[in-house]
Amino acid sequence: MSVPPTGPDSHGEPLAGPDERDGRHARLIGWWEAERRDLPWRRTREPWLVLVSEVMLQQTQVDRVLPYFETFAERWPTPEQCAEAELADVLAAWQGLGYPRRARNLWQTAAIISERHGGWMPADLDGLLALPGVGPYTARAVQAFAFGIDTGVVDTNVGRILARWQGRRLSPKEAQHIADELVPAGESWAWNQAMMDLGAQVCTKRDPCCGRCPAQPWCGWGSVVVGSEPSSQPDPADRSAGVSTRQAPFEGSDRQARGRLLAVLSGGPLPTALAAAAMRFERDEARAQRLVEELIAEGLVTAAGDQLRLGAAR
């Protein structure tokens, strides 16, 4: 399938021409201004709250994050307030959102910001990447959405869009380069939000709505459609950079068992002897013991005498 010149070729040529790029920017942002999602974290540029939202959104659907973000932002609106809290309280507030390491990382990050940065979030990429649990995506999201820095933010939606626009799988380096090149100067916040909404609402993983996509004219995968049907060509986003893969089943997993124990501990201490029952592993004491030891090593649980407690001692 022929692919329109939407990205750098093997010789590193720039993405389209200035006039063409301006037209694409105007078309996509114009679509977004009419279709944008009203999300609470888009109403703030406070770096700490932007970071909180991005950490919560890691591997988690927007609808699940909404009530947690609003509660967290009201309770700990600054890193100083979060750093002063007990980890057990932060973990309890996180209960049900999944991946509790994220809560621990935020709590640790709050302390670092308060103690080493005078309460100010670093804006440079290296400074952000040095924070616990902050990877390349999250760091660039904070740069774009809190500081307005012109950088491409490649989450799973954007990774999927870029691969489809190019009509081929992309390496992480290629995807980031293309994302950076596409950002209109001074419009990083709006452009990256538009890309994410396009992926969430139109250029979806399953059943993409190519017929109503504002980017269809320059998309290497969906440029030829019949009615509203997407291209019959294999989806180039499969296994491309940034695009999420299918997770292992949750039912019966270690994640589920760990979550059960943390949920019980959020209500208070638990005798260690009852941990296996809390995880519903009464017939697999060895597995239960292994998970308890992992939670202790990660600082999510403390063993005090013959009891387990949520969080770690300071």
Say which amino acid occupies 273: A
Paired residues of 310 in beta bridges: 301
Contact 167, 236 (CB under 8 A): yes
Work out the number of other CB atoms within 10 angstroms of the CB of residue 157: 23
Helix (H/G/I), strand (E/B), else coil: 252 = coil
Residues in the chain: 314
Burial class (CB in 10 A: 0-12, 13-18, 19+), 201: middle
- Residues serving a catalytic function are 54
Helices (H), 76-100: 79-84, 87-94
Tokens of 33: 């201004």
Using CA atoms, how far apart are residues 144 and 84, in angstroms rounded to an integer?
Answer: 28
Contact 65, 37 (CB under 8 A): no
Q: How far apart are the first and last CA of the chain?
A: 59
Using CA atoms, how far apart are residues 284 and 272, in angstroms rounded to an integer?
Answer: 15
Select from 109, 121, 105, 113 the least CA-distant residue to 45.
Answer: 121
Paired residues of 270 in beta bridges: 308
Residue 231 has what DSSP assignment?
P
Using CA atoms, how far apart are residues 70 and 14, in angstroms rounded to an integer?
Answer: 41
Q: Please enumerate in sequence order all residues whose Cβ is within 8 A of that of 296, keeping only pairs 6 or more positions apart, or say none.
A: 302, 303
